[in-house]
């Protein structure tokens, strides 16, 4: 049964906040600097530059077949992803095409070019990478190794509410959001826009996975506090928003 309280939450889905908002009060209008487009690596964190990929990695290129074959895949083979394949998936989901004044144009759309997401990876089976948590740097198209986590697979499964595929992938994408990147301009409308943005990112992952014989499954249900703890986030200025395990397809 849909209770009154649940109905009230629907307000979040509406565009009503645009009518109520006075954009002249935004931090952008007050000439506060635009927040950085990516979190800087910590001193001493080395960049792992991702290789160029070429069309050899593609098993399907036809957009109609890609859209038609897309589905949520929750079982993966034990084969590792190659680094060019991972490079392709990161490019498809957050890759930067152009850097303009303090902002980036990427392969996915984002309201006001705000791009509030950081992409963390729980890496299990990727050639040339040891197991652990990594973060993608879109500006450099590089990874940084964040840290190792004992029993990472079990921890990811627990975070994913015991859905085994969250921790039995080749790599699980973990998107965090830094909401201020959107709030700086869009204030009260930000939460809705961030949620819409996330769909664009994950849909590109679905299609890019299909193109290289991989599969993925969007994960909206997870244990927030445990996910934020795993990535050592404060859960307020930055928190986990969405996840997607990726692995080689078992069946077509």
Ligand X SMILES: Cc1cc2nc3c(=O)[nH]c(=O)nc-3n(C[C@H](O)[C@H](O)[C@H](O)COP(=O)(O)O)c2cc1C
Give the integer Cα–Cα distance in Å for 141 and 50.
6
CB nearer to ligand X: pick between 37 and 122: 122
- H helices of the chain, in order, are 4-9, 17-20, 63-69, 83-94, 152-159, 180-186, 190-211, 224-230
Nearer to ligand X, 87 or 119 (CB): 119
CB of 154 to ligand X, least distance (A): 18
Are 237 and 150 in contact, with CB atoms under 8 Å apart? Answer: no
- Residues within the interface to ligand X (CB under 6 A): 71-72, 163, 217-221
Q: Which candidate, 172, 165, 163, 167, places its Cα nearest to that of 154? A: 167
In the Cβ-directed half-sphere of 188, how many Cα atoms lie within 13 Å?
Answer: 15
Closest residue to ligand X using C-beta atoms:
220
Instruction: Write down the least CB distance from residue 119 to ligand X, Å.
Output: 17
Indicate the residue among 63 and 221 with the shorter CB distance to ligand X.
221
- Minimum Å gap between C-beta 102 and ligand X is 30
DSSP 8-state secondary structure symbol assigned to residue 73: -
What residues form DSSP beta bridges with 112?
none
Nearest-approach distance from CB 203 to ligand X, in angstroms: 9
The nearer residue to ligand X, 17 or 69, going by C-beta atoms, is 69
């Amino acid at each position: 049964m849909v209770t009154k309280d649940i109905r009230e939450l629907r307000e979040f889905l509406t565009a009503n906040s645009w009518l109520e908002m006075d954009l002249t009060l935004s931090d952008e209008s007050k000439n506060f600097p635009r927040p950085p487009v990516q979190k800087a690596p910590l001193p001493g964190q080395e960049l792992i530059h991702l290789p160029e990929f070429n069309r050899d990695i593609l098993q399907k290129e036809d957009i109609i077949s890609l859209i038609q074959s897309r589905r949520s895949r929750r079982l993966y083979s034990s084969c590792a992803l190659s680094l060019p394949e991972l490079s392709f998936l990161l490019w498809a989901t957050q890759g930067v095409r152009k850097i303009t004044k303090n902002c980036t144009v990427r392969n996915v759309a984002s309201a006001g070019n705000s791009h509030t997401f950081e992409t963390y990876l729980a890496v299990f089976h990727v050639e040339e990478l040891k197991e652990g948590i990594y973060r993608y740097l879109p500006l450099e198209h590089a990874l940084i190794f964040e840290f190792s986590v004992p029993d990472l697979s079990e921890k990811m499964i627990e975070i994913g509410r015991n859905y085994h595929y969250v921790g039995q992938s080749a790599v699980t994408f973990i998107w965090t959001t830094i909401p201020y990147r959107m709030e700086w301009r869009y204030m009260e409308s930000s939460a809705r826009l961030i949620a819409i943005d996330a769909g664009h990112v994950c849909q590109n992952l679905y299609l890019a996975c299909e193109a290289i014989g991989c599969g993925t499954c969007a994960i909206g249900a997870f244990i927030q506090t445990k996910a934020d703890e795993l990535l050592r986030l404060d859960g307020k200025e930055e928190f986990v928003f969405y996840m997607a395990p990726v692995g080689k397809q078992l069946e077509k």
